[in-house]
Amino acid sequence: MIKNNKQCVLKIIKVLEKDLGQVKCALNFSTPFELLTAVILSAQCRDERVNKITENLFKRYKNISDYANADISEFENYIKSAGFFRNKAKNIIKSAKLIIDMHNGAVPHAMEELLKLPGVARKTANVVLGNAFGKAAGIAVDTHVIRIANLLKLTKYDDPVKIEKDLMKIVPKEYWIKFSFYIQVLGRRICKARNPNHEICALNKICPSAHIAN
Ligand code: SF4
């Protein structure tokens, strides 16, 4: 039975580390702003689809000025299949303008500055800080982390901010970036929302929800 303490979380991490091997950000990017764009696009949209969209988008818009000066209708057409494309286009273009005005065109490295950008909440900021700058400011909490952290009884909350606070108390800081990746990969491959495959899950000996019927 998992207890809510650092030792048990470390065990979960070690088991997943051994079982899943190397994990990394599933979104393709080559600059911090491209990552920011990809994460904004990924809200309610699968990473594979985002990567398809950004393959063309990043060819058309090469630097942050291209984004800031983008024609909104043309930009929307590029990202239409991401869903909520009007808001996403507005937020990406506005973020580019703000970053140029406030940060000389460089994506800020600080959580509080990232949170001032439109469309950027803690999850997006954590992904950007962790993957573009190698900075562990917090733990990125997405739908997989929300669901699986609850199944593992690492939290009792549904709210991502509260879940992140719970996780930051028990996950060792050196794993804050990787922890989300492990849980996301587990969620995609094995612990699926509709059909968690407890039988083949590497955590089934220590997960308190392993008894839930398949
Ligand atoms: S044992 Fe089942 S519920 Fe627990 S993490 Fe694995 S698949 Fe999910």
φ, ψ of residue 191 in degrees (nearest 5): -90, 65
pLDDT at residue 7, as a whole number: 86
Query: Is 123 a residue of the active site?
Result: yes
- Does 209 have pLDDT greater than 70? yes
**CA distance linking residue 36 with residue 92, whole number of Å:** 8
What is the three-state SS of 155-200?
CCCCCHHHHHHHHHHHCCHHHHHHHHHHHHHHHHHCECCCCECHHH
pLDDT at residue 6, as a whole number: 83
Mean pLDDT of 54-81: 98
Verify whether ligand 1 is closer than 6 Å to residue 183 (CB atom): no
* Single pTM value for the model: 0.92
**CA distance linking residue 214 with residue 196, whole number of Å:** 6
Q: Find the angle CA(23)-CA(27)-CA(32) to the nearest 5 degrees.
A: 105
- Residue among 66, 71, 123, 192 flagged as catalytic: 123
Banded pLDDT at 1 (limits 50, 70, 90):
very low
Query: Do 12 and 204 contact (CB within 8 A), yes or no?
Result: no
Query: Do 39 and 28 contact (CB within 8 A), yes or no?
Result: no
Banded pLDDT at 4 (limits 50, 70, 90):
low
Percent of the chain whose predicted confidence (pLDDT) is above 90: 92
Please state, rounded to an integer, the average pLDDT across all residues of the chain.
94
Q: Give the Å distance between the CA of 142 and the centre of ligand 1.
A: 17
Neighbours of 60 (CB within 10 A): 12
Verify whether ligand 1 is closer than 6 Å to residue 209 (CB atom): yes
Q: Which of 96, 94, 123 lies closest to 111, judged by CA? A: 123
**CA distance linking residue 122 with residue 125, whole number of Å:** 5
pLDDT at residue 3, as a whole number: 53
Query: Do 124 and 151 contact (CB within 8 A), yes or no?
Result: no
Q: How many residues does the chain have?
A: 214
Q: Give the Å distance between the CA of 42 and the centre of ligand 1.
A: 25
Mean pLDDT of 33-37: 98
- Does 151 have pLDDT greater than 90? yes
For residue 41, the surrounding DSSP H or E stretch is helix 32-41
Verify whether ligand 1 is closer than 6 Å to residue 92 (CB atom): no
φ, ψ of residue 101 in degrees (nearest 5): -70, -45
Pull the structure tokens for residue 206.
């220590």
SS3 label, residue 196: strand
Verify whether ligand 1 is closer than 6 Å to residue 120 (CB atom): no
**Looking up tokens 């491959």, which residue turns up?**
189
Q: Which of 33, 57, 53, 55 lies closest to 45, judged by CA? A: 53
pLDDT tens, position by position, 153-208: 999 999 999 999 999 999 999 999 999 999 999 999 999 999 999 999 999 999 99
